Structure 1
């Protein structure tokens, strides 16, 4: 088949509209009748139960059981059993001594929050740290690749203290601070 010389298919024409007289109704009469019957039944149900909650409870049902039998069915509550354990009395007056080994304290820690070529950038970082409530220092180092201005906090005796300050900085949107051993 030659697709290049093929004729185009004829254009489709929109379907013709039917006249309004010949159109069927959207909902038939029996569906409307069923809906009306259901609504009427629901309204009747609501009317019949509307006053039921205000009525008092009916009289209790009396049975022909003798009083002697009722008294036999009710058993008294037994006395509370005696404690078999003495630990509440013993532990109340005791003191617990726990031997906790001391942690080894390593070298002091230093936290660096930035390293900048420009001193103004380092001072800006130091001001942001001061707004959080921590004190930092700017250390200038001259190395083989130029001058660097480092913003550092510390020294810290334990890493836990440094972590606590790092979490304060992260809550203040200063991220990327690193904790190192003091050199």
Structure 2
């Protein structure tokens, strides 16, 4: 059975009620506006208009009519212009003070600590240490491979330095990080 093409079932018709004259008579009547409310609205509108005219100044202009007689203009003479005081010359003291002013700054000397060494790897096999040394040489830095006997055997360390300041060591470490050589650490080591 095809539900999409099936039509709607027929609707039952509701019987319509006839309107009577009584239902028309029961229509609600609009309440009349009280006369005092209309007068109050008119008074408020007039007061608003007069207030706006007073604020804008047009009410004052109509009240004060310009006089028909022109006011006598004061004539300036050469004597009056000479009676004015001369314009004072500006004197700025700080310009002269700043030209001759010297600033003295006390910069404390940096204390140089022990030399800094940067270790980039530690390997059991010397071939691995030499491979890392070659990668570092491709960046343009010179590394050293040192053999160290520790408690757990022989280790080959790849180190750079010594550096006088930590800033110099950080500069080289950033070069190595750009060349994808990670894991380098800066330590205070004595040679």
Which range, TM-score by smaller chain?
Answer: 0.5 to 0.7
Match of 1:157 in 2: 164
Match of 2:5 in 1: 18
Describe the SS at the equivalent of 1:147.
strand
Question: Based on CA coordinates, which of the two structures has the bigger radius of gyration?
Answer: 2
Identify if the C-alpha distance between structure 1 residues 83 and 129 changes in structure 2 by more than 3 Å, giving closer, same or farther. farther
Identify if the C-alpha distance between structure 1 residues 178 and 99 changes in structure 2 by more than 3 Å, giving closer, same or farther. same
Deviation, structure 1 residue 127: 1.0
Give the TM-score normalised by the residue count of structure 2: 0.50
Residues 28-39 of structure 1 correspond to what in structure 2 (within 5 A)? none
- Note the aligned Cα RMSD (angstroms): 2.6
Q: Out of 88, 94, 97, which is 2:104 matched to? A: 97
Give the TM-score normalised by the residue count of structure 1: 0.52
Deviation, structure 1 residue 91: 3.2
Residues 100-111 of structure 1 correspond to what in structure 2 (within 5 A)? 100-111=107-118
Distance of 1:121 and 1:151 partners within structure 2 = 10
Listed as ranges, the gaps of 5+ residues in structure 2 are 8-86
* 2:132 maps to 1:145: no
Listed as ranges, the gaps of 5+ residues in structure 1 are 1-12, 23-78
Match of 1:55 in 2: none
Identify if the C-alpha distance between structure 1 residues 143 and 120 changes in structure 2 by more than 3 Å, giving closer, same or farther. same
Deviation, structure 1 residue 159: 1.1
Describe the SS at the equivalent of 2:119.
strand
Distance of 1:111 and 1:83 partners within structure 2 = 62
Q: Which runs of 4+ in 1 moved over 4 A?
A: none
Deviation, structure 1 residue 107: 0.7
Deviations 1:118-170 (A, max 9, x none): 11111111111111111110011122312111000000111111111111111
